[in-house]
């Protein structure tokens, strides 16, 4: 929920001025040009999916090759609870396949 997200963010950025610091979130950087290609996994039902979508757009607009993958039916916790939340494709497999493409 929005309230739980605010609660968790208070631990991550106890000082509100840190919330828009690029060291806390790369979204706030103004230097994306020249970054390597990236794969971004976004669960369909994540409470922060819109932020991920916006970050992917910033990367794309800066000319960064971005492979944005929406994981259908999944929540924000799926990657850490994938044995329990196993409906759909395993995010670890999606990430592994993306790495294989880069390495090979």
Question: Between 42 and 91, where is the model more confident?
Answer: 42
Q: What is the dihedral of CA 56, 62, 67, 70, to 10 degrees?
A: 20
Which is nearest to 91 in space by CA: 101, 104, 78?
78
The Cα–Cα gap between 64 and 35 comes to 6
pLDDT confidence tier of residue 10, bands split at 50, 70 and 90: confident
* For residue 90, pLDDT beyond 90: no
Over the stretch 27-70, which tens digit does the pLDDT of each residue have?
899 999 889 999 898 988 888 899 999 999 999 999 999 999 88
Q: Domain locations in the chain? A: 1-30, 31-103
């Amino acid at each position: 929920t929005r309230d739980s997200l605010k609660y968790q963010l208070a631990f991550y950025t106890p000082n509100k001025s840190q919330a828009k610091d690029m060291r806390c979130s790369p979204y706030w950087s103004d230097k994306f040009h020249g970054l390597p290609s990236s794969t971004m996994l976004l669960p369909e039902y994540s409470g922060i999916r819109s932020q991920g979508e916006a970050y992917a757009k910033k990367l794309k607009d800066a000319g960064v090759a971005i492979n944005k993958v929406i994981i259908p039916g999944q929540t924000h916790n799926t990657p850490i609870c994938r044995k329990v939340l196993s409906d759909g494709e395993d995010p670890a497999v999606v990430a592994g396949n993306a790495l294989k493409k880069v390495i090979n």
